Protein backbone atom coordinates (compact mmCIF):
# COMPACT_ATOMS: atom_id res chain seq x y z
CA UNK A 1 0.00 0.00 0.00
CA UNK A 2 1.25 3.48 -0.83
CA UNK A 3 0.61 6.38 1.54
CA UNK A 4 1.23 10.11 1.22
CA UNK A 5 1.89 12.25 4.28
CA UNK A 6 2.20 16.01 4.22
CA UNK A 7 4.70 17.46 6.67
CA UNK A 8 4.54 21.13 7.56
CA UNK A 9 7.99 21.75 9.02
CA UNK A 10 8.21 25.52 9.14
CA UNK A 11 9.33 27.22 7.06
CA UNK A 12 8.96 24.37 4.52
CA UNK A 13 6.30 21.90 3.50
CA UNK A 14 7.16 18.40 2.34
CA UNK A 15 4.95 15.68 1.02
CA UNK A 16 6.25 12.15 1.41
CA UNK A 17 4.86 9.30 -0.63
CA UNK A 18 6.06 5.83 0.24
CA UNK A 19 5.25 2.18 -0.32
CA UNK A 20 7.63 1.09 2.45
CA UNK A 21 5.63 0.23 5.62
CA UNK A 22 8.62 0.84 7.92
CA UNK A 23 9.03 4.38 6.58
CA UNK A 24 5.32 5.09 6.85
CA UNK A 25 5.18 3.82 10.44
CA UNK A 26 8.19 5.88 11.52
CA UNK A 27 6.79 9.00 9.86
CA UNK A 28 3.47 8.63 11.66
CA UNK A 29 5.12 8.18 15.03
CA UNK A 30 7.95 10.70 14.89
CA UNK A 31 5.99 13.53 13.31
CA UNK A 32 2.81 13.04 15.35
CA UNK A 33 3.28 16.43 17.07
CA UNK A 34 4.45 18.38 14.02
CA UNK A 35 2.44 21.54 13.24
CA UNK A 36 -0.63 21.16 11.07
CA UNK A 37 -0.15 22.27 7.49
CA UNK A 38 -1.43 25.76 6.80
CA UNK A 39 -1.47 25.42 3.05
CA UNK A 40 -1.65 22.79 0.37
CA UNK A 41 1.39 24.18 -1.40
CA UNK A 42 4.28 21.77 -1.21
CA UNK A 43 7.91 22.90 -1.43
CA UNK A 44 9.38 19.42 -1.74
CA UNK A 45 7.44 16.43 -3.11
CA UNK A 46 9.44 13.39 -1.97
CA UNK A 47 9.11 9.67 -2.65
CA UNK A 48 10.65 6.72 -0.83
CA UNK A 49 10.16 3.62 -2.94
CA UNK A 50 11.13 -0.02 -2.85
CA UNK A 51 13.65 -0.83 -5.53
CA UNK A 52 12.26 -2.71 -8.51
CA UNK A 53 13.38 -5.87 -10.23
CA UNK A 54 14.73 -9.16 -8.91
CA UNK A 55 16.72 -7.41 -6.20
CA UNK A 56 13.55 -6.64 -4.28
CA UNK A 57 13.17 -10.37 -3.61
CA UNK A 58 16.57 -11.15 -2.14
CA UNK A 59 18.18 -7.82 -1.21
CA UNK A 60 15.44 -5.18 -1.02
CA UNK A 61 16.41 -1.55 -1.39
CA UNK A 62 14.95 1.88 -0.76
CA UNK A 63 15.22 4.68 -3.31
CA UNK A 64 14.81 8.37 -2.54
CA UNK A 65 13.37 10.83 -5.04
CA UNK A 66 13.03 14.59 -4.65
CA UNK A 67 10.53 15.54 -7.35
CA UNK A 68 12.20 13.98 -10.41
CA UNK A 69 15.74 13.86 -8.99
CA UNK A 70 17.34 10.82 -7.40
CA UNK A 71 20.33 12.36 -5.62
CA UNK A 72 21.55 9.23 -3.78
CA UNK A 73 22.35 5.63 -4.57
CA UNK A 74 19.72 3.21 -3.20
CA UNK A 75 20.20 1.96 0.36
CA UNK A 76 19.11 -1.17 2.18
CA UNK A 77 15.36 -1.19 2.79
CA UNK A 78 15.83 -1.15 6.57
CA UNK A 79 17.74 2.14 6.16
CA UNK A 80 14.84 3.76 4.30
CA UNK A 81 13.64 6.05 7.08
CA UNK A 82 17.16 7.36 7.79
CA UNK A 83 17.52 7.92 4.05
CA UNK A 84 14.35 10.02 4.04
CA UNK A 85 15.65 12.22 6.88
CA UNK A 86 18.99 12.68 5.13
CA UNK A 87 17.17 13.41 1.90
CA UNK A 88 15.17 16.15 3.58
CA UNK A 89 18.43 17.65 4.83
CA UNK A 90 19.80 17.51 1.29
CA UNK A 91 16.75 19.32 -0.12
CA UNK A 92 17.29 22.27 2.18
CA UNK A 93 21.08 22.42 1.98
CA UNK A 94 21.03 22.20 -1.81
CA UNK A 95 18.19 24.57 -2.58
CA UNK A 96 17.44 27.09 0.15
CA UNK A 97 19.76 29.98 -0.57
CA UNK A 98 17.66 32.60 1.19
CA UNK A 99 19.24 31.52 4.48
CA UNK A 100 22.83 31.26 5.62
CA UNK A 101 22.90 27.57 6.50
CA UNK A 102 25.33 26.23 9.07
CA UNK A 103 25.84 22.58 9.98
CA UNK A 104 24.82 23.18 13.55
CA UNK A 105 22.38 22.30 16.25
CA UNK A 106 20.34 25.20 17.59
CA UNK A 107 18.75 25.27 21.03
CA UNK A 108 17.07 28.12 22.85
CA UNK A 109 15.64 29.25 26.13
CA UNK A 110 12.79 31.58 25.27
CA UNK A 111 14.02 33.56 22.30
CA UNK A 112 17.75 33.33 23.18
CA UNK A 113 19.43 30.76 20.97
CA UNK A 114 22.85 29.14 21.01
CA UNK A 115 24.43 27.66 17.90
CA UNK A 116 26.32 24.38 18.31
CA UNK A 117 28.25 23.92 15.04
CA UNK A 118 30.26 20.73 14.89
CA UNK A 119 31.48 18.04 12.53
CA UNK A 120 30.25 14.44 12.85
CA UNK A 121 31.66 12.60 15.87
CA UNK A 122 31.69 15.64 18.14
CA UNK A 123 28.76 14.45 20.24
CA UNK A 124 26.57 17.28 18.95
CA UNK A 125 23.39 15.24 18.62
CA UNK A 126 23.78 13.58 22.02
CA UNK A 127 24.19 17.00 23.62
CA UNK A 128 21.24 18.25 21.57
CA UNK A 129 18.99 15.44 22.79
CA UNK A 130 20.05 15.95 26.38
CA UNK A 131 19.33 19.68 26.29
CA UNK A 132 16.07 19.33 24.35
CA UNK A 133 14.72 16.95 26.99
CA UNK A 134 15.97 19.11 29.85
CA UNK A 135 14.19 22.39 29.40
CA UNK A 136 15.69 23.74 26.18
CA UNK A 137 13.74 24.35 22.99
CA UNK A 138 15.11 22.53 19.97
CA UNK A 139 15.19 24.64 16.82
CA UNK A 140 17.28 22.18 14.86
CA UNK A 141 19.57 19.23 15.35
CA UNK A 142 21.26 19.48 11.99
CA UNK A 143 21.18 22.91 10.40
CA UNK A 144 20.93 26.50 11.53
CA UNK A 145 18.87 28.62 9.14
CA UNK A 146 20.13 32.16 9.72
CA UNK A 147 18.31 35.11 8.20
CA UNK A 148 20.86 37.11 6.15
CA UNK A 149 22.14 40.37 7.65
CA UNK A 150 20.65 39.48 11.02
CA UNK A 151 21.34 37.39 14.11
CA UNK A 152 17.96 35.69 13.86
CA UNK A 153 17.66 31.96 13.41
CA UNK A 154 14.63 30.24 11.93
CA UNK A 155 13.54 26.98 13.60
CA UNK A 156 13.49 23.87 11.45
CA UNK A 157 12.27 21.32 13.96
CA UNK A 158 12.91 17.72 13.00
CA UNK A 159 13.82 14.48 14.79
CA UNK A 160 17.29 14.25 16.34
CA UNK A 161 19.70 11.84 14.64
CA UNK A 162 21.48 9.62 17.19
CA UNK A 163 24.31 7.31 16.28
CA UNK A 164 25.97 4.22 17.67
CA UNK A 165 26.65 4.37 21.43
CA UNK A 166 24.47 7.44 21.94
CA UNK A 167 21.40 5.38 20.98
CA UNK A 168 21.49 3.24 24.12
CA UNK A 169 22.30 6.28 26.25
CA UNK A 170 19.34 8.25 24.92
CA UNK A 171 16.98 5.30 25.35
CA UNK A 172 18.05 5.00 28.99
CA UNK A 173 17.73 8.75 29.61
CA UNK A 174 14.39 9.18 27.89
CA UNK A 175 12.46 5.91 28.29
CA UNK A 176 9.24 7.56 27.12
CA UNK A 177 10.89 9.16 24.10
CA UNK A 178 9.59 8.39 20.62
CA UNK A 179 12.40 6.66 18.72
CA UNK A 180 12.45 5.45 15.13
CA UNK A 181 13.37 1.91 14.21
CA UNK A 182 17.14 1.41 14.06
CA UNK A 183 18.96 1.65 10.73
CA UNK A 184 22.03 -0.54 10.98
CA UNK A 185 25.31 -0.45 9.08
CA UNK A 186 24.77 2.95 7.48
CA UNK A 187 27.76 5.08 6.47
CA UNK A 188 27.37 6.70 9.90
CA UNK A 189 27.05 3.37 11.71
CA UNK A 190 23.81 2.49 13.46
CA UNK A 191 21.31 5.35 13.39
CA UNK A 192 18.08 6.14 15.23
CA UNK A 193 15.94 9.27 15.10
CA UNK A 194 14.32 10.70 18.21
CA UNK A 195 11.24 12.92 18.06
CA UNK A 196 11.76 16.20 19.98
CA UNK A 197 9.56 17.04 22.97
CA UNK A 198 6.16 18.57 22.24
CA UNK A 199 7.33 22.01 23.43
CA UNK A 200 9.90 22.14 20.64
CA UNK A 201 7.31 21.26 18.01
CA UNK A 202 5.04 23.96 19.44
CA UNK A 203 7.79 26.56 19.05
CA UNK A 204 8.42 25.69 15.43
CA UNK A 205 7.26 29.10 14.22
CA UNK A 206 9.15 31.14 16.82
CA UNK A 207 12.42 32.60 15.58
CA UNK A 208 15.17 33.24 18.10
CA UNK A 209 18.13 35.58 18.53
CA UNK A 210 21.60 34.07 18.43
CA UNK A 211 23.38 34.98 21.68
CA UNK A 212 26.38 32.65 21.56
CA UNK A 213 28.22 30.11 19.45
CA UNK A 214 29.48 26.97 21.19
CA UNK A 215 31.61 24.40 19.40
CA UNK A 216 31.08 21.13 21.27
CA UNK A 217 33.70 18.39 21.34
CA UNK A 218 33.07 15.20 23.27
CA UNK A 219 36.26 14.01 25.02
CA UNK A 220 35.94 10.82 27.03
CA UNK A 221 38.65 11.87 29.48
CA UNK A 222 37.58 15.48 30.02
CA UNK A 223 34.87 16.46 32.46
CA UNK A 224 34.52 20.04 31.20
CA UNK A 225 37.07 22.35 29.63
CA UNK A 226 35.93 25.68 28.24
CA UNK A 227 37.98 27.79 25.86
CA UNK A 228 36.95 31.27 24.88
CA UNK A 229 37.66 31.74 21.17
CA UNK A 230 38.88 34.96 19.64
CA UNK A 231 36.73 36.31 16.84
CA UNK A 232 38.98 35.15 14.01
CA UNK A 233 39.09 31.58 15.34
CA UNK A 234 35.33 31.61 15.85
CA UNK A 235 34.63 32.89 12.35
CA UNK A 236 36.89 30.33 10.70
CA UNK A 237 35.29 27.46 12.64
CA UNK A 238 31.84 28.75 11.78
CA UNK A 239 32.73 29.13 8.10
CA UNK A 240 34.05 25.55 8.00
CA UNK A 241 30.60 24.37 9.08
CA UNK A 242 28.69 26.49 6.57
CA UNK A 243 26.77 24.62 3.88
CA UNK A 244 26.08 27.41 1.40
CA UNK A 245 28.54 30.11 2.45
CA UNK A 246 30.50 29.80 -0.78
CA UNK A 247 27.36 29.99 -2.91
CA UNK A 248 25.56 32.99 -1.49
CA UNK A 249 28.73 35.08 -1.26
CA UNK A 250 28.59 38.51 0.29
CA UNK A 251 25.36 37.90 2.21
CA UNK A 252 26.89 34.95 3.99
CA UNK A 253 30.19 36.65 4.70
CA UNK A 254 28.57 39.81 6.06
CA UNK A 255 26.11 37.82 8.15
CA UNK A 256 28.67 35.57 9.78
CA UNK A 257 31.20 38.31 10.48
CA UNK A 258 28.45 40.43 12.07
CA UNK A 259 27.31 37.56 14.27
CA UNK A 260 30.85 36.86 15.43
CA UNK A 261 31.30 40.55 16.24
CA UNK A 262 28.19 40.48 18.42
CA UNK A 263 28.25 37.24 20.38
CA UNK A 264 30.80 35.26 22.41
CA UNK A 265 32.16 31.97 21.07
CA UNK A 266 33.48 29.01 23.03
CA UNK A 267 34.94 25.60 22.41
CA UNK A 268 33.65 23.16 25.01
CA UNK A 269 35.36 19.82 25.57
CA UNK A 270 33.29 17.60 27.81
CA UNK A 271 32.12 14.23 28.94
CA UNK A 272 29.63 15.55 31.50
CA UNK A 273 26.43 16.82 29.92
CA UNK A 274 25.07 18.25 33.16
CA UNK A 275 28.20 20.36 33.52
CA UNK A 276 27.78 21.67 29.97
CA UNK A 277 24.13 22.50 30.64
CA UNK A 278 25.07 24.36 33.83
CA UNK A 279 27.73 26.37 31.97
CA UNK A 280 25.29 27.29 29.23
CA UNK A 281 22.60 28.43 31.65
CA UNK A 282 24.68 30.09 34.34
CA UNK A 283 27.38 31.68 32.23
CA UNK A 284 26.35 32.00 28.60
CA UNK A 285 22.64 32.76 28.88
CA UNK A 286 23.06 34.83 32.03
CA UNK A 287 25.48 37.14 30.22
CA UNK A 288 23.07 37.44 27.29
CA UNK A 289 20.20 38.80 29.36
CA UNK B 1 50.01 45.68 -8.61
CA UNK B 2 48.51 42.97 -6.42
CA UNK B 3 46.47 45.25 -4.22
CA UNK B 4 43.77 45.99 -6.82
CA UNK B 5 43.32 42.25 -7.26
CA UNK B 6 43.01 41.72 -3.53
CA UNK B 7 40.50 44.54 -3.28
CA UNK B 8 38.51 43.52 -6.34
CA UNK B 9 38.41 39.78 -5.82
CA UNK B 10 37.92 39.40 -2.09
CA UNK B 11 35.72 40.52 0.74
CA UNK B 12 37.52 41.14 3.99
CA UNK B 13 36.77 42.01 7.57
CA UNK B 14 38.99 42.93 10.50
CA UNK B 15 37.55 41.83 13.81
CA UNK B 16 37.08 44.34 16.59
CA UNK B 17 38.98 42.25 19.12
CA UNK B 18 42.13 42.69 17.04
CA UNK B 19 42.55 38.94 16.56
CA UNK B 20 42.81 39.10 12.81
CA UNK B 21 41.35 39.72 9.40
CA UNK B 22 39.39 37.23 7.36
CA UNK B 23 39.22 37.21 3.56
CA UNK B 24 36.53 35.59 1.46
CA UNK B 25 36.72 34.87 -2.26
CA UNK B 26 33.10 34.95 -3.50
CA UNK B 27 34.06 33.11 -6.69
CA UNK B 28 35.60 30.08 -5.02
CA UNK B 29 34.07 30.22 -1.53
CA UNK B 30 37.55 30.04 -0.04
CA UNK B 31 38.26 31.72 3.26
CA UNK B 32 41.59 32.87 4.66
CA UNK B 33 42.46 34.25 8.08
CA UNK B 34 45.53 36.36 8.76
CA UNK B 35 46.76 37.85 12.01
CA UNK B 36 46.26 41.39 10.79
CA UNK B 37 44.45 43.83 12.98
CA UNK B 38 42.51 46.71 11.44
CA UNK B 39 45.53 49.01 11.48
CA UNK B 40 47.72 46.51 9.67
CA UNK B 41 44.99 45.78 7.15
CA UNK B 42 44.57 49.47 6.44
CA UNK B 43 48.31 49.87 6.01
CA UNK B 44 48.51 46.95 3.61
CA UNK B 45 45.54 48.10 1.57
CA UNK B 46 46.82 51.63 1.33
CA UNK B 47 50.16 50.31 0.11
CA UNK B 48 52.31 51.75 2.84
CA UNK B 49 55.85 50.69 2.14
CA UNK B 50 56.78 49.94 5.75
CA UNK B 51 54.35 47.04 5.85
CA UNK B 52 56.36 43.93 5.09
CA UNK B 53 54.72 40.62 4.47
CA UNK B 54 56.54 37.60 5.84
CA UNK B 55 57.03 34.61 3.53
CA UNK B 56 54.37 32.53 5.22
CA UNK B 57 51.75 35.25 4.80
CA UNK B 58 52.79 35.73 1.21
CA UNK B 59 52.39 32.04 0.54
CA UNK B 60 48.97 32.01 2.16
CA UNK B 61 47.83 34.94 0.06
CA UNK B 62 49.28 33.45 -3.11
CA UNK B 63 47.32 30.27 -2.52
CA UNK B 64 44.13 32.23 -1.96
CA UNK B 65 41.87 33.46 -4.70
CA UNK B 66 42.47 33.53 -8.42
CA UNK B 67 45.73 35.34 -8.97
CA UNK B 68 46.96 35.77 -12.54
CA UNK B 69 50.09 33.72 -13.12
CA UNK B 70 51.98 36.81 -14.13
CA UNK B 71 51.24 38.64 -10.90
CA UNK B 72 53.66 38.51 -8.02
CA UNK B 73 52.03 39.50 -4.78
CA UNK B 74 55.21 40.88 -3.28
CA UNK B 75 55.47 43.38 -6.12
CA UNK B 76 53.52 45.75 -3.92
CA UNK B 77 56.69 46.43 -1.96
CA UNK B 78 58.68 47.13 -5.08
CA UNK B 79 56.00 49.38 -6.48
CA UNK B 80 55.61 51.41 -3.37
What's the CA gap between B32 and A16, in Å, rounded?
Answer: 41
SS3 of residue A74 by DSSP: coil
Average pLDDT over residues A154-163: 98
Extents of the domains making up chain A: 3-95, 100-158+196-288
Report pLDDT for A40: 73
Residue B10's pLDDT is 82
User: Can you tell me the mean pLDDT for A68-90?
Assistant: 96
Average pLDDT, chain B: 73
pLDDT at B71 over 60: no
pLDDT digits (tens, 9 = 90+) for B15-37: 999 999 999 988 888 898 988 88
Q: A229: part of which helix (H) or strand (E)?
A: none
The better pLDDT of the pair A51, B80 is held by: A51
pLDDT band at A287 (very low <50, low <70, confident <90, very high): confident
Which residue in the set A250, A254, A261 is minimally distant from B16, CB to CB?
A261
Q: In the CATH scheme, what is the code of domain A100-158+196-288? A: 3.90.228.20
- For A96-125, the pLDDT digits (tens) are 999 999 999 999 999 999 999 998 888 999
pLDDT band at B3 (very low <50, low <70, confident <90, very high): low
pLDDT score for A249: 87
Measure the CA–CA gap between B32 and B23, rounded to whole angstroms: 5
Q: Which of A72-86, A176-190, B36-50 has the lowest mean pLDDT?
A: B36-50
Using a CB-CB distance cutoff of 8 angstroms, which residues of chain A are in contact with residue B30? 246
Q: Report pLDDT for B39.
A: 85
Quick check: A179 pLDDT over 70? yes
Q: Report chain A residues whose CB lies below 8 A from the CB of B11.
A: 249-250, 253-254
Q: Which of A235, A246, A247 sits opposite B22 (nearest CB)?
A: A235
Q: Which residue of A has its CA nearest to B32?
A: A236
Task: Tell me what pLDDT residue B79 has.
Answer: 40
User: Are B17 and A231 inside 8 Å of each other by CB?
Assistant: yes
Average pLDDT over residues A147-174: 96
Q: Return d(Cα A121, Cα A217) in angstroms, integer.
A: 8
A→B interface, C-beta within 8 Å: 230-233, 235-236, 239, 245-247, 249-250, 253-254, 257, 260-261
pLDDT of residue B75: 44
The answer to whether the CB of A143 falls within 8 A of the CB of A101 is: yes
A271 DSSP 8-state letter: S
Per-residue pLDDT at A234: 98
Residues of B whose CB is below 8 A from A231? 15-17, 19-20
The vertex-B54 CA angle with B51 and B58, nearest 5°, equals 100
Q: Do A235 and B17 touch (CB under 8 A)?
A: no
| pLDDT higher than threshold 50 for residue B80 | no
Residue A233 or B73, more confident: A233
Look at residue A270 and tell me whether its pLDDT is greater than 50: yes
Among candidate residues A218, A165, A173, A163, the one with its CA nearest the CA of residue A193: A163
- CA distance to partner chain B, nearest, from residue A182 (Å): 37
Which of A236, A247, A253 lies closest to B33 in CB terms? A236
Judge whether residue B51 has pLDDT over 70. no
Please indicate whether, in this complex, the C-beta atoms of A245 and B35 are within 8 angstroms of each other.
no
Range A232-236 average pLDDT: 97
- The rounded distance, in Å, linking the Cα atoms of A133 and A60 is 36
For residues B13 and B21, give the distance between their C-alpha atoms in angstroms, rounded to a whole number. 5
CB contact under 8 Å between B21 and A232, yes or no, is yes
Amino acid sequence: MTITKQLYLPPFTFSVTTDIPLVAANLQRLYAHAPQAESLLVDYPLRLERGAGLRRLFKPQARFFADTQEPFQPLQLQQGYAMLEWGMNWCIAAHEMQYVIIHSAVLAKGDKAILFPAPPGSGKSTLTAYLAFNGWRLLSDEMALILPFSNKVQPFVRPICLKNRSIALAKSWFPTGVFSSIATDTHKGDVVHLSPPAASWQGALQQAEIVAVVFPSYQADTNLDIYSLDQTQAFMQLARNAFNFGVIGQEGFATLTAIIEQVPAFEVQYNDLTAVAAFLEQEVLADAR
Amino acid sequence: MALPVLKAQTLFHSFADGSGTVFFDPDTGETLALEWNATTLQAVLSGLCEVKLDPQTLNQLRAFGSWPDSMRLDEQHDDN
